[in-house]
Amino acid sequence: MPWNPGVYLRFADLRTRPAADLLARVPMEAPARVADLGCGPGNSTALLAARWPAARLTGFDNSAAMLAEARESGVAAGWVLADIASWQPDAACDVIFSNAALQWLEGLEMLLPRLMGFVAPGGAFAFQVPANFDAPSHALMRAVADAPRWRAKLADVRPLTRLSPEDCYALLKPHAAALDIWQTDYLHVLEGEDAVYRWVSGTGLRPYLDALAADERADFIRLYKARLDAAYPRRADGTTLFPFRRLFAVAQAG
């Protein structure tokens, strides 16, 4: 299934807040060239445009649907269809920014230093990735996928890439003049029925659903929802609490 901007943007404010928190720690006054890798529908790019209106700003994403949404956003940026894994700018960037995109890629041990190499002297590489893959939302996803009915079909689904703070430090420190790494635990207060399911259906659940036929998908979702309801009970006021940890890094080039 292709990326669905509407599903992703159901929680636009909560998904954009980490991008704002990351941007607040980027120590750049007036960068000339700024790249937003995995820009999606442009919600993070809008923050970059607001902070640096004079910058040459480009959003890159491998989803045509997401880029179409971004073009409709009115954000003053260029939009380019590209794969982060093979992306290479035509000139060094003063800021390379990525909000919740790098976890989809393999080989971060090579990719992170490679991206750092595209940063101009004095510039910054800033990114944020989820760090909640042991939370019930994702552990239950893997457990349902391991059920006998789906095990063979879903055995080759690649989980999202984990990156620890220590890994991040080891990969970037040799290439950075200064390095700022931190984790934040957000407590999302979600509204409505099946709230956690609706959150993950726009992101981490997609590879599992993509691999199933329509009838299998419906049964998978039914079982997964039941387990999510037990792990994340809806409160008397109608809300569901969804803890979510994220990892942040800002690496400055010498």
What's the full length of the chain, in residues?
A: 254
DSSP for residue 117: T
Residue with tokens 């971004």: 70
Listing DSSP states for 20-52 in one string gives HHHHTT---SS-SEEEEET-TTTHHHHHHHHH-
Q: What is the pLDDT of residue 8?
A: 42
C-beta separation of 147 from 141 below 8 A = no
Section 223-234 average pLDDT:
97
Assess if CATH 3.40.50.150 describes domain 5-252. Answer: yes
Tokens representing residue 171 in the block? 């990969």
Tokens representing residue 194 in the block? 């099946």
pLDDT > 70: percent of the chain: 95
Residue 187: strand pairing partners: 243
pLDDT > 90: percent of the chain: 88
Across all residues in the chain, what is the average pLDDT? 93
Section 225-252 average pLDDT:
97
Q: Where are the domains of the chain?
A: 5-252
Q: What is the pTM of this model?
A: 0.93
CB-based contacts of 48-55 (< 8 A; 24+ apart in sequence):
48/23, 48/77, 48/95, 48/97, 49/75, 49/76, 49/77, 51/23, 52/28, 52/95, 54/30, 55/30, 55/31, 55/94, 55/95
Helix, strand, coil percentages (3-state) for the chain, rounded to 5, are 40, 25, 35
Pairing of strands 56-61, 178-191: unpaired
Give per-residue burial for 11-44: e unless 16+ CB within 10 Å, then b: beeebbebbebbbeebebeebebbbbbbbbbbbb
Q: What is the pLDDT of residue 12?
A: 67
pLDDT in tens, 99-123: 999 999 999 999 999 999 999 999 9
Pairing of strands 78-81, 239-252: unpaired
C-beta separation of 148 from 192 below 8 A = no
Q: What is the C-alpha to C-alpha distance for residues 69 and 90, in angstroms, rounded to an integer?
A: 25
